[in-house]
Amino acid sequence: MASAPVRLGIIGYGIMGERLLRAALDHDPAVLTVAGVWDPSAPAMARLKAELPQVVQIESAAAVIEACDCLYIASPPASHLAYARDAFARGRAVFCEKPLAVDVADAEAFVGEAAKSGARAGINFPFASSFAVDQLRAWMKDGVTGEVQRIDIEIGFAAWPRPWQVDAASWLDARAQGGFTREVGSHFLFLARRLFGPLTLQSHSVAYPEAGKSERSIAVTLTAGSLPVTLSGGVGITDKPDHNLFRISGPQGAIRLRDWSVAEKQAPDGSWQQAPDALPNEKMRPLVLQRQLDKVAALTRGGIQDLATLAEAAEVQRVVEVILKG
């Protein structure tokens, strides 16, 4: 007898909540359906009603948890753990946006609580389901780089927040919960950790030139397993709204992930050649989210999946918060 579809409840209808909601609405309804959405913002709920009137609007966070099998938490970071604990108390699975939290001690306590109780949880680091990351792995397995020697990560922005995030600038451009290191840098730290091993911070610097605003530049050295890693980032260093590179180098050559979704390898003449099936992020993102949602369904049912774990997210968070303290 086939299993009933997983009922996904959503807290938060900002940009991330909307993206995952749309992916869930397009998903196989035999696998996953949307139980409903709640956001404390009346304008957000009005926008949801106007854009997706077929989606059930639920009156409170508690009611979303009651209605779902798995809770997706897409609210600002400081609220994540409270919602997740409430969901665990009701026996629900949790799929949470990163960062796991901004309070490192509370996050670590939460990871311990979840492990002790056997709670089902994953964090939405989409590189866990990235087709481009699959390509990087295949190239490494085929010896394109030889034995990997180093990782170099660059992230840059024309302005912060990015244009599609300006409605959330009140927290995304504040030091308490925002900044590009938490919002973007964490993804690439997770990727380094997933591919090469535990993260150990070596040195770091951060600049806060605008009073009351989030960071405008970082320079970091660390290791992932035994590999040296550099991470640099800044605002106003590119004319692109969002530009990033994740480069893997070895004695035989180099490969990289560019702008979230494009896998490339370096030719002998130094030029970069993209994988034949590469797509720009706006086209690839929905496909990656479909893979993520398949894994969310497996998580909820207690099946095998490789979503980012709470422990991985907490490790990334520890590194990020130390960087931001300067």
How many domains is the chain built from? 2
Running DSSP on this structure, what letter comes out for residue 69? S
Is residue 281 within 8 Å of 288, Cβ to Cβ? no
CA 8 – CA 301 distance, rounded (Å): 12
Q: Is residue 1 part of a domain?
A: no
Identify whether residues 28 and 137 lie together within a single domain. Answer: no
Structure token digits, residue 32:
């996953």
Q: Is 167 part of a structural domain of the chain?
A: yes
Crossing angle for the helix pair 15-25 and 281-300, nearest 10 degrees?
70
Which pTM does this prediction carry? 0.96
Mean pLDDT estimate for the chain: 97
Whether pLDDT at 315 is above 90: yes
Question: Mean per-residue pLDDT for 303-324?
Answer: 97
CA–CA distances in Å: residue 243 to residues 113, 171, 201, 237: 37, 22, 23, 10
Domain span at 33: 6-126+286-309
Same domain, yes or no, for 119 and 137?
Answer: no
DSSP, collapsed to helix, strand or coil, labels residue 274 as strand
DSSP, residue by residue, 186-242? HHHHHHHHHHH--EEEEEEEEE--STTS--SEEEEEEEETTEEEEEEEEESS-SSSS
* CB contact set of 226 (below 8 Å; sequence gap of 6+): 197
Compute the average pLDDT of residues 211-239. Answer: 98
**Domain shared by 17 and 115, yes or no:** yes
> If pLDDT is split at 50, 70 and 90, which confidence band does 326 have?
confident
Together in a domain, 114 and 14: yes
Instruction: Report the percentage of the chain scoring pLDDT > 90.
Output: 98
Q: Which two tokens stand for residue 140?
A: 């490494």
User: Do 271 and 301 sit in the same domain of this protein?
Assistant: no
Q: Which residues make beta-bridge pairs with 10?
A: 37, 72
What residues form DSSP beta bridges with 154? 232, 245
Could you tell me if 267 and 133 lie in one domain? yes
Q: Are residues 292 and 219 in the same domain?
A: no
Confidence of residue 1 (pLDDT cuts 50, 70, 90): very low
Strand spans (E) along 59-196: 70-73, 93-96, 121-123, 150-157
Is 256 part of a structural domain of the chain?
yes
| Within-domain flag for 146 | yes
39 lies in some domain:
yes
Report pLDDT digits (tens) over 259-299.
999 999 999 999 999 999 999 999 999 999 999 999 999 99
Asked if 270 and 304 sit in the same domain, the reply is: no
Average pLDDT over residues 184-210: 98
What pLDDT sits at residue 148? Answer: 98
More confident call, 301 vs 3? 301
Residues 31 and 145 in one domain: no
Backbone angles phi, psi at 269, to 5 degrees: -85, 5
Lookup: tokens for 205: 């610097």
- Rounded CA-CA distance 169/160 in Å is 8
Judgement on whether residues 208 and 221 belong to the same structural domain of the protein: yes
Q: In this predicted structure, what is the pLDDT of residue 2? A: 62
Sequence-separated (6 or more) residues with CB below 8 Å from residue 281: 259, 260, 261, 262
The domain that contains 56 carries what CATH number? 3.40.50.720
Task: List the CATH number of the domain containing 239.
Answer: 3.30.360.10
Classify residue 212: in a domain, yes or no: yes
Is the pLDDT score of 163 beyond 80? yes
Task: Please give the average per-residue pLDDT across 118-136, as a whole number.
Answer: 98
Residue 260 lies in a domain: yes
Residue 211 — φ and ψ, nearest 5°? -55, 130
305 and 158 part of one domain: no
Domain presence at residue 281 = no
Residues near 94 by beta carbon (within 8 Å), at least 6 away in sequence: 70, 71, 73, 84, 87, 88, 119, 120, 121, 122
Query: What is the model's pLDDT at position 3?
Result: 84
Residues near 8 by Cβ (< 8 Å), separated by ≥ 6? 24, 32, 33, 34, 35, 68, 69, 70, 71, 72, 95, 293, 296
Q: Residue 50 above 90 pLDDT?
A: yes
Can you give the C-alpha Rg of the chain in angstroms?
20
Taking residues 145-170, what's their average pLDDT? 96
Query: Do residues 47 and 186 both lie within one domain?
Result: no
